[in-house]
Amino acid sequence: MAGVRVRRVYEEPAGDDGTRVLVDRVWPRGLSKAAARLDEWCKQVAPSTELRRWYGHDPDRFAEFRHRYLAELEEPERAEALEGLRRLAGDGPLTLLTATARADISHAAVLAGLLDA
């Protein structure tokens, strides 16, 4: 695999981004679809609303969030979407986009770890 990176969707695209996929369930606030410059929007891999609300991007909860999120990714619809991301990652560089302020402790970071493994 050529590498999976995580970036904020609000950042300007980089020339080496490869395929750009938004992995949030909700469209990013204040961003037009044209400005996002996405190749795909894969909202099926986003964590459930309940898990996202419980987590609240609290760094102290990240390990437990990761554990719960990995369990959610085993659900059929999410597993199928994850396989689609694996195929994209196998084809070349893949950038997972999120609106989260702290991408390093986001679901996108968990996904990148899975896809880069």
The confidence score (pLDDT) of residue 116 equals 87
Please tell me the pTM assigned to this model.
0.94
Dist. CA 21–CA 38, nearest whole Å: 6
The confidence score (pLDDT) of residue 3 equals 84
Please, are residues 112 and 86 in contact by the beta-carbon 8 Å criterion? no
The confidence score (pLDDT) of residue 60 equals 97
Dist. CA 13–CA 69, nearest whole Å: 27
The confidence score (pLDDT) of residue 48 equals 97
The confidence score (pLDDT) of residue 21 equals 98
Gap between the terminal Cα atoms of the chain: 9
- Residue 24 — left, alpha, or beta (φ > 0 → left; ψ -120 to 50 → alpha)? beta
Q: How high is the mean pLDDT in each 10-residue block of the chain (117 residues)?
A: 85 94 96 93 97 96 98 96 95 96 96 90
Please, are residues 6 and 109 in contact by the beta-carbon 8 Å criterion? yes
Dist. CA 10–CA 76, nearest whole Å: 30
The confidence score (pLDDT) of residue 1 equals 41
